[in-house]
Structure 1
């Protein structure tokens, strides 16, 4: 049996760690790797801007599509409406998560093609963010009426789409290496946007010094993990 209090504590810790890993991966490694490729910086900055705006729009659409109401909120709905709405939300979560994982696979493949160490770090960054996200999705699926077994199985199937995305990305980008810098920049825009607009605001809700110090330490740990994994990757160029 799951202790949701324990899951909540894991998510809180992983959010802070994810911020450090995602920001340091994008700002210290993925973006420098893209700009060292010789691609016109103006084109890469344009891709970065497009990526940030794209994630903003995707988040807006997700918020609109996942909007929900609660019982006794003043809206009058027929009997059984809430259960039906929760069920639809569960399937939408799975669809969005599957597409997200498929894209993550492509991004990891692009990072490996650019630099094996960068591929490892990008994978770690994605895993660090996926752990709290998958826990959250699991809870949403339970709330939507899925059994624990079905929620496990569907989450696993969605996760396997990352493998499919990785294979497609590897064999596609290997023949179009000029696209790799743009994929790295797009991945970086996603990491930066998620860290700054989603994860950090969650951390700001806990503003006492006793709660802030562990958050800062976990962010620093995330940066140290990335630096340790990459070592002197860029010095070897």
Structure 2
């Protein structure tokens, strides 16, 4: 029965966070994707630097040097993946003469979308292991953990949806791929149930790799887009939305911690 509850909790937590994020991202926010890219930068950087990485580096028994190596490997790895995507698509788009969704030039359309999906999948996988570990301690703690994780995933999922729309994905594809990515939590939950000790040892490294994708996308793809709008009014809007994204992650994290503590 415990395995059943773990699978149910990881599935429902993923669906709830995606449904909440999609209701915002694919309706109201999809009409102003260019502006919302700045919000996504704040959300991604805050999730990585103020939530996920501190969690990974403060894990009992964590090898700090190895985690920094994983962070470096992740950043370089995502650069190589993105470079491979550019090489694969550059010939097709070089002379097609067509514009891309929301003004993205041909060589950059779509590449950041795949990187963010991979990073989000890794993050969901780690969340699944955490939910499984909580259920194996106490089913009530498991439910509270799943709720807390679903809650703090919402701003990150909003950022992911905006990045996918900005990268040229249709609304239907953005929803489908985010749903597939959320299923990694179920895989993590099942793995955690059967191999808890070894799975838990993986968590800090998986979280660091996921965080490296969030940092990479924010700094290498989204911020350069924002620099293409250098006017003072646009720049002030960008700074405000980045700060708002950071504040949103901090607020949601605080709420989820309060819920978990009770």
TM-score, normalized by the shorter chain, greater than 0.5? yes
What is the RMSD computed on CA atoms of the aligned residues? 3.3
TM-score using structure 1 length: 0.71
Higher helix share: 2
Is residue 2:239 matched to residue 1:216? yes
User: CA separation in 1, counterparts of 2:78 and 2:52?
Assistant: 18
Checking the alignment, whether the CA contact within 8 Å between 2:78 and 2:213 is kept in structure 1 is yes
Superposed displacement of residue 136, structure 1: 3.6
Checking the alignment, whether the CA contact within 8 Å between 1:47 and 1:182 is kept in structure 2 is yes
Superposed displacement of residue 103, structure 1: 5.5
Give the count of matched residue pairs. Answer: 199
Q: Which runs of 5+ in 1 are unaligned?
A: 1-5, 73-88, 139-150
Superposed displacement of residue 121, structure 1: 2.9
Superposed displacement of residue 208, structure 1: 1.1
1:227 corresponds to which residue? 250
2:38 corresponds to which residue? 16
Q: Which runs of 5+ in 2 are unaligned?
A: 1-27, 98-105, 132-144
Cα deviation code 1:79-116 (max 9, x no counterpart): xxxxxxxxxx9xxx69x967964662341241364484
Is residue 2:54 matched to residue 1:53? no
| Candidates 152, 155, 162, aligned match of 2:181 | 162
Checking the alignment, whether the CA contact within 8 Å between 1:52 and 1:193 is kept in structure 2 is yes
User: CA separation in 1, counterparts of 2:116 and 2:46?
Assistant: 21
User: CA separation in 2, counterparts of 1:71 and 1:184?
Assistant: 39
Checking the alignment, whether the CA contact within 8 Å between 1:98 and 1:161 is kept in structure 2 is no
1:131 corresponds to which residue? 162
Alignment of 1:38-77 (within 5 A): 38=60, 39-67=62-90, 68-70=93-95
The DSSP-based 3-state class of the residue aligned with 1:37 is: coil
Superposed displacement of residue 127, structure 1: 3.1
Structure-2 change in CA distance of 1:198 and 1:97 (3 Å): closer
1:110 corresponds to which residue? 126
The DSSP-based 3-state class of the residue aligned with 1:110 is: helix
Bigger drift between 221-230 and 101-110 goes to: 101-110
Is residue 2:225 matched to residue 1:202? yes
User: CA separation in 2, counterparts of 1:99 and 1:220?
Assistant: 24
TM-score using structure 2 length: 0.65
The DSSP-based 3-state class of the residue aligned with 2:59 is: coil
Superposed displacement of residue 124, structure 1: 2.5
User: CA separation in 1, counterparts of 2:242 and 2:152?
Assistant: 15
